[in-house]
Amino acid sequence: MTPSPPFALPTFDVRDVPFSVRGSWLDLSPVVGLHTRHDDVHLVSHRNGMHAVLRCEPVAGSAPVEWHADAARFTWRAGHAAVEAVFAGLRALRLRGTALALRLVDAAGGLTPFTGTYLYVDPVDGSAVFTSYETGRRYRVTMLTGRLEVDGSEALGVADRAVTLGAGEPSWEAVVEEIDAAAEPFVPLGTFDETVAAVARTFTDYLDAVAPWRSAATPAADLAAYVLWSATAAPEGLAARESVLMSMHWMDKLWSWDHCFNALALAAGQPDAALDQFLAPFDHQDATGALPDSITHSEVLYNFVKPPIHGWALRHLRARASRALTDAQLREIHGRLARWSTFWLERRRVAGHALPYYQHGNDSGWDNSTTFDVDRVIESPDLAAFLVLQLEVLADLSDELGLASAAWRAERDALLHALVDELWTGTELVAVGALSGRASTATSLLNLLPLVLGERLPDDVRAALAARVERHLTEFGPATEPVDSPHYEDDGYWRGPIWAPSTALIEDGLRVSGFTDLADTVSARFRALCERSGFAENFDARTGAGLRDRAYTWTAAVYLVLAADAVSRG
């Protein structure tokens, strides 16, 4: 074993954060499916969905095995014996054993005509190859030094299919590659330790770019950057650009609003990557101008949309970006943003109504928010507010490019008037059923998101919304449903837990509305929550415990954005 590189790398529990590298669709993790965690680490592929391909079993007898992971190296350790892993490229996992063998076992189970894995020994080079129906790829295992044992070669039906690396040997090296129909033999570009050092340098360069401001006062910045870096997948399949997935657990997609928060975290240090994140869903914009609900390697879904926060995000992205966008890029964005805005104006308004509507909570991104309890198809204050901002950004961009802007401003003004005139009760903002006209409940934090409009709202409306934020505020941040609400649930998704995007929007809304002290409190409490509980999908509002998927990129991204802003404010 050799010492770690001469700079600190973030360490983590692989049960919470998968081990991967920027660009790869593979990871090492015991998490193999929706809320499903095994006792063994698996090689998991995210091509054609999330699939556990190989179960990795150290051959340690009765000796206890511990796992250790940092940004460049994963280790199974049994006393003084160990197996180490490092990504040698995007599709190759290089392995090194010292007095410990590793057994790689087919994780798919029996082979039928439509499922499972077929194992054979290549007659040319002696490598063992697992062929997976689920991922549509092959997994070639090649010894670089040492001996390979194969069980279940060419077996059909239910059988044990496994290879054992380095049995009975003091040291060995091997590589597992995800390949297509065939590939050239693996050629190491350096020693195992040189490969580890190269990965470490690549990550550190990324970290220095996205969080150059980090210090002891921002102790989670390194891990936040790793969560983003390791969940970034190379362009492949239906993902036309390098894409930061929500997670390398089961939430292995890019949804058409989460990408905005990830783009903001990258804007200052990785402006080209940030622009790719922003534009990714627009690559699949449909004929009506709608964005898809989500994108992943082999699937694009249009069953729902997501809220039009893209104008809000573009304004912030341009303010943060370390370089100006080119005229060609701005013109592309203008065209796409215009079609997206027109979708809401032409396809999501009842005849004679000024306000657009959601068809379901999923359209808002707040799937089961209490705002949707009375009616599902609603004209919602957050939707109107986001579209007001988007139309304003579109009008400003039109002016910048020498294009007509008056129509966009007229739509903005009419929508802003309708938001206040139709949804403000005098004490609170409510949604109304697009068909029924019934008012929604108003206990959800969703109803307070129009704070992002800032001074465009009347003073009394802003003050009332800010006061209601305080009712949602816990020691960890703003709960999506107040903890004293009869509808509150500790693990209720959008009916109580604290989420990163809602926190980011509320924090920004408070700040632009003039409630800077409250905005500072929201920021500080959420950052402390991440530093304590990591980057979970959401958090228990009463205990601060992480819930659901534990390695969520928009949570890491919001932490980085809020931390950078806090540092800049001093």
Confidence of residue 5 (pLDDT cuts 50, 70, 90): very low
Q: What is the pLDDT of residues 124-159, one digit of tens each?
A: 999 999 999 999 999 999 999 999 999 988 877 777
Q: According to the model, what pLDDT value does residue 110 have?
A: 62
Mean model confidence pLDDT for the chain: 96
Under the banding of pLDDT at 50, 70 and 90, the label for residue 116 is confident
Q: Where are the beta strands (DSSP E) in 146-305?
A: 148-151, 162-165, 171-179, 232-233, 243-244, 254-255, 294-296, 299-301
All structural domains of the chain, each given as residue ranges with its CATH number in brackets, are: 26-200 (2.70.98), 211-569 (1.50.10.10)
Interatomic CA distance for residues 61 and 78, integer angstroms:
10
Least Cα distance to 5 among 211, 204, 206 occurs for 204
**394 token code pair:** 């579109």
Q: What is the predicted pLDDT for the residue at 493?
A: 98
Cβ(167)–Cβ(174) below 8 Å = no
Helix (H, G, I), strand (E, B) or coil at 323: coil
The pLDDT, as a whole number, for residue 114 is: 60
- What pLDDT, on a 0 to 100 scale, did the predictor assign at position 113? 55
Residue-wise over 445-461: b if at least 16 C-beta within 10 A, else e? bbbbbbbbbbebbeeeb
Confidence class of residue 160 from pLDDT cuts 50, 70 and 90? confident
Instruction: Name which of 382, 339, 336 is nearest 363 in CA terms.
Output: 382
Q: What is the mean pLDDT of residues 478-500?
A: 98
In sequence order, which ranges of 306-360 are alpha helices (DSSP H)? 310-320, 327-347
Q: Residue 111 — pLDDT band, cuts 50, 70, 90?
A: low
Lowest mean pLDDT among 60-64, 277-281, 399-403: 60-64
| Cα–Cα nearest to 496, from 547, 444, 420, 447 | 444
The one-letter amino acid at 445: L
In the predicted model, what is the mean pLDDT of residues 186-200? Answer: 97
pLDDT of residue 451: 98
> What is the enclosing helix (H) or strand (E) of 170?
none
Task: Supply the pTM of this predicted model.
Answer: 0.96
Average pLDDT rounded to a whole number, residues 550-563? 98
Residue 198: pLDDT band (50, 70, 90) is very high
Arithmetic mean of pLDDT, 67-80? 97
| pLDDT in the model for residue 32 | 93
Positions of E strands within 18-170: 26-33, 36-45, 51-59, 66-69, 74-78, 81-87, 92-98, 101-106, 117-121, 128-132, 137-145, 148-151, 162-165
343 pLDDT higher than 90: yes
Q: In the chain, pLDDT over 70 holds for what percent of residues?
A: 98
Burial of 237 (0-12, 13-18, 19+ CB in 10 A): middle
Give me the mean pLDDT over the 478-487 stretch.
98
Share of the chain above pLDDT 90, in %: 94
How much is the average pLDDT of 298-314?
Answer: 98
CA-wise closest residue to 149 among 132, 131, 168? 168
pLDDT at 512 over 60: yes
Beta bridge partners of 164: 103, 149
pLDDT of residue 3: 35
The CA–CA distances, whole Å, from 553 to 163, 220, 230, 243, 307 equal 34, 13, 10, 11, 19
Q: What is the pLDDT of residues 142-151, one digit of tens each?
A: 999 999 999 9
Indicate the pLDDT class of residue 112, thresholds 50, 70 and 90: low
- Spell out the residues 6+ positions from residue 404 whose beta carbon is closer than 8 angstroms to its own: 398
Question: pLDDT at position 4, please?
Answer: 38
Tell the residue number behind the tokens 């991104």, with chain if given. 365
pLDDT at residue 371 greater than cutoff 70: yes
Please, how many CA atoms are within 13 Å of residue 109, restricted to the half-sphere of its CB?
A: 5
Residue 410 has pLDDT above 50, yes or no: yes
Residue 152's pLDDT is 85
Cα–Cα distance, 43 to 55 (Å, whole number): 6
